[in-house]
Structure 1
């Protein structure tokens, strides 16, 4: 069991959250799939719970107001030391800030933004809540990847806003760039061209660790979710792309180094 580092390097993914219509049903789905337990709060975010594994916070789930009909999707949050300054830089570099920055009680300060291609992400300025508190265990987020049409133009945006160093996979038929901070890979950009789902557009994908990908994919279906890409071997391990009952898409993976 590995506890995640206390305060994240600015730019590093530090939290994932999901806003849904049915908070109780969603808790049941993820509780059964990943063994999560839940704790309410912070109140400033409305109906909202934090998912816990072994007593450590690993993700957040909130409830949409009944009159809001937004896409149901996991949101990756990138760490910042100054949410207001980062929001200004996002706008200056061609991105959009849709929400905030707002204060989430004593937990911290957040904003929801999108890059120039339209992919939504969050920024998180930590106070009492530094982010995901457990790493590498089944049921924890282990990787975050932007799925987009092509990486070259959007890579410049993330590099300018967060200072990432870029490392491209040199391949004629594979458009993939890893984002590094302080010499360490923290996330990636994956250009899929025409394979990008038309109903989703560019989006950040959260990868959750599981102990057995095939069993977890079958469990998703038993719990009312869907398998979008069946279990397959990848460079990072055995993975499958799935969706919860409300349609939020995520990837499950048994990492190759486990």
Structure 2
């Protein structure tokens, strides 16, 4: 696949203290297989769906043990320049730009509302080898309690145009590239326990949402929301046994009319 336009979600990985447990869980729920751990890069282990790279799991580095979480990477032609933009717009650089062999360069940032995300400047590793197919990444949303901060930050760092959902019951915006939505932004309501930090909610595609939920909960995952039918597909929000939040969606099973959106100046 070609290198993605700047700001496009291009990769996802997660740190797990129990990597084998994570491999077993996601192997069962999403049908992933796993490559060899790369000792040169901290035992980074790629996940595959039908032989195509779709994500990765890695043990935490010393001193970084804590809550497991999925990290979404946004494409950049220049990770160092993006790191400067992160700082210039009130964000925090958690990891300075580093070269990862010939695979590419990365940095980690946090937006002013607390949402952690990655930045990936592709080398030989261009990112997801498939999307929006069973077992692969499909969509992601910035979940934040301070949406005005995220709304100002992300379009300043990445070349997004913004649309809002014309629905008074939900505070939701779309970040678009070239007129196509690539990322959502959702306000976290009181339904989220206060101990849940702002985060990137990553959606993985499944053939059957209810079957995926059943597998996940049987294997120690926790159903947080759904399954629910929407115009985008039938989806559910889950936490894996190590606490990492993610969603599953069957994009073939849609219901209802697409919501109306309007441009935000």
Shift of 1:66: 5.5
What is aligned with 2:130? 134
Q: Distance in 2 between the 1:164 and 1:78 partners?
A: 12
Shift of 1:48: 1.1
Is contact 1:73–1:247 with CA below 8 Å preserved after alignment? yes
What is aligned with 1:49? 45
Shift of 1:247: 0.9
Shift of 1:21: 0.2
Is contact 2:67–2:242 with CA below 8 Å preserved after alignment? no
Of 168-177 and 238-247, the range deviating more from structure 2: 168-177
Which consecutive residues of structure 2, in runs of 5 or more, have no partner in the other structure? 255-265
Cα deviation, 1:26-47, whole Å, max 9, x if unaligned, reads 1111112111111135544301
Of 22-31 and 225-234, the range deviating more from structure 2: 225-234
Shift of 1:171: 2.7
- Give yes or no for the alignment of 1:29 onto 2:7: no
Cα deviation, 1:190-228, whole Å, max 9, x if unaligned, reads 113333431222110000111111111000012222212
Q: Distance in 2 between the 1:47 and 1:72 partners?
A: 16
Q: TM (normalized to structure 2)? A: 0.91
SS in structure 2 at match of 1:220: helix
Q: Distance in 2 between the 1:99 and 1:178 partners?
A: 27
Is contact 1:149–1:194 with CA below 8 Å preserved after alignment? no
Of 131-140 and 37-46, the range deviating more from structure 2: 37-46
What is aligned with 1:217? 213
Shift of 1:55: 1.2
RMSD (Å), alpha carbons: 1.6
Alignment counterpart, residue 64 of structure 2, candidates 41, 62, 68 = 68
Cα deviation, 1:121-156, whole Å, max 9, x if unaligned, reads 000000000000011211111001011124333111
Q: Distance in 2 between the 1:113 and 1:50 partners?
A: 22
Of 164-173 and 227-236, the range deviating more from structure 2: 227-236
Q: Distance in 1 between the 2:213 and 2:87 partners?
A: 39
Q: Which runs of 4+ in 1 moved over 6 A?
A: none
Instruction: Tell me how many residue pairs correspond in the alignment.
Output: 254
- Give yes or no for the alignment of 1:83 onto 2:86: no
Shift of 1:91: 0.5
After superposition, where does 1:1-258 map in structure 2 within 5 Å? 5-40=1-36, 42-65=38-61, 67-256=63-252
What is aligned with 2:260? none
Shift of 1:188: 0.6
Q: Distance in 1 between the 2:193 and 2:175 partners?
A: 23
Q: Distance in 2 between the 1:146 and 1:226 partners?
A: 21
Is contact 2:6–2:75 with CA below 8 Å preserved after alignment? yes
Shift of 1:69: 2.5
SS in structure 1 at match of 2:35: strand
Q: Distance in 2 between the 1:176 and 1:213 partners?
A: 23
